[in-house]
Amino acid sequence: MLIMPSLVAPAIPVGALAASGQPTLPIEGGALLRPWRIADAEAVAEAFQDPEIQRWHVRRADSVEEAREWIEGWRSSWHSESGGHWAVAGVDGDRLLGRVSLKSLDLADGKAEVAYWMVPAARGRGVCTCAVMTLTRWALEHGRFHRLELEHSTGNQASCRVAVKAGFEEEGVRRGAALHADGWHDMHLHACVWQG
């Protein structure tokens, strides 16, 4: 296969993320973002029994073993530089509050997609917004990303509030862009671009 030479250097050199090690990041208000642990599998399986998580993330966990496999994939994605997945945990690092992720990494253009969910007990307290802001700050200032995108179903108003409060500007609607259990959803696109 012929590879065409690029006229610009990649925004994030291949190997830079994997070599840096996935950080643990303190979140304002007494929580933290930390890499996933295999021991989190039971809490992940329980979280995916929640109808709201199933509704917006279009998945369910049928067993702790299945959740364990997800976590193994989330952990390995850092080393392959295909994603970055963090557990949102209580300040002690143990109690699972949710998940915040960088998906669909494009190192050449310095782009990634942000995704998140919170367990029911952690909702409505600003934890999700603070977690997204913490990850965004790290990704733009230290991870060398240039643009982070975030999209949610236009029907998911709670996710929209998190995006706006976390500083992601509204850019438009992608019509019929995602298939959910109840049919095709229009997706609201937000983005945050490095201004440094």
pTM of the shown model: 0.94
What are φ and ψ of residue 156, in 5° steps?
A: -100, 80
Q: Which alpha helices (H) appear in 31-156, and where do they start and end?
A: 41-47, 51-57, 64-80, 127-141
Give the Cα separation of 85 and 34 in Å (integer): 9
Per-residue confidence at 1, pLDDT binned at 50, 70, 90?
Answer: confident
Give the Cα separation of 183 and 166 in Å (integer): 28
Q: What's the confidence (pLDDT) of residue 94? A: 87
Q: Classify 124 as helix, strand or coil.
A: coil
Mean pLDDT of 147-170: 97
Whether residue 92 is predicted with pLDDT greater than 90 in this model: the reply is: no
